[in-house]
Amino acid sequence: MGIKGLKQVIADRAPAALRTVELQHLVGRKVAVDASTSLYQFLVAVRSEGQNLMTSEGQTTSHLVGLLYRTVNMLENGLKPVYVFDGKPPTLKGAELEKRREKRVKAEASLQVAEEEGDQEEALKQMKRLIKVTPEINEQARRLLKLMGVPFFTAPCEAEAQCAALARSGKVWAAASQDMDTLLFGAPVLLRNLTVPAARKLPIEEIHLEE
């Protein structure tokens, strides 16, 4: 996801553009949040602990619990999140989507081998590669946000591009995503780790494009 090594290049060439901030520092700020990367983080975090939150019918709810707690945390600290969901992938990404499908097939095969050999570390690594934010997961997240009264919408194409566009136009102060591509789409301010599960204890990174 994103350009490999871009963050390190920024840290080396333009250190003033990269800083860490506390959530309280963002009080009153309106932020466009990349919903897909957020939901993926919630699913990965719980799966990494060797368990999954489910209903009595066996339906996964990890993403909903994560979304609920992180959104409440933002609201309690005075942030105004606007969640943006991925729309239809651009046609020019057809080759990239095919590569992803091939990687999934390889990951499934590697996972089976790791499980047969009892290699839990490798099995977890491959399992993360197979986690996917499905249309059903997105719809469940939308229903939860609607019940919470938190604004959201579906982008025409990629969520990170739409988040960047909202920030460029001044409709929000920053774009929040783990995807460094958001900067390449022109977001003046990118927030990383804003929706990372609290258990990971990663600092919020604030990256300024013009600096």
> What does the domain layout of the chain look like in residue ranges?
6-91+131-208
How far is it, in rounded angstroms, from Cα 136 to Cα 201?
Answer: 29
Q: How many Cα atoms sit within 13 Å of 195 on the Cβ side?
A: 32
Q: Tell me, yes or no, if the pTM score tops 0.85.
A: no
- Which CATH architecture is the domain 6-91+131-208 placed in? 3-Layer(aba) Sandwich (3.40)
Name the pLDDT band for 124 (thresholds 50, 70, 90): low
pLDDT tens digit sequence for 28-44 = 999 999 999 999 888 87
Inter-residue contact 37 to 193 (CB < 8 Å):
no
pLDDT tens digit sequence for 6-19 = 888 898 889 999 99
62 burial level (CB within 10 Å; 0-12, 13-18, 19+): buried
Question: What integer is the mean pLDDT of 165-173?
Answer: 97
Question: Phi and psi of 40, rounded to 5°?
Answer: -60, -45
pLDDT of amino acid 147: 98
pLDDT of amino acid 201: 79
pLDDT of amino acid 198: 72
**Which of 4-8, 95-99, 127-131, 180-184 has the weakest average pLDDT?**
127-131
Q: What average pLDDT does the chain have? A: 85
Residue 75: CB atoms within 10 Å? 14
56 burial level (CB within 10 Å; 0-12, 13-18, 19+): exposed
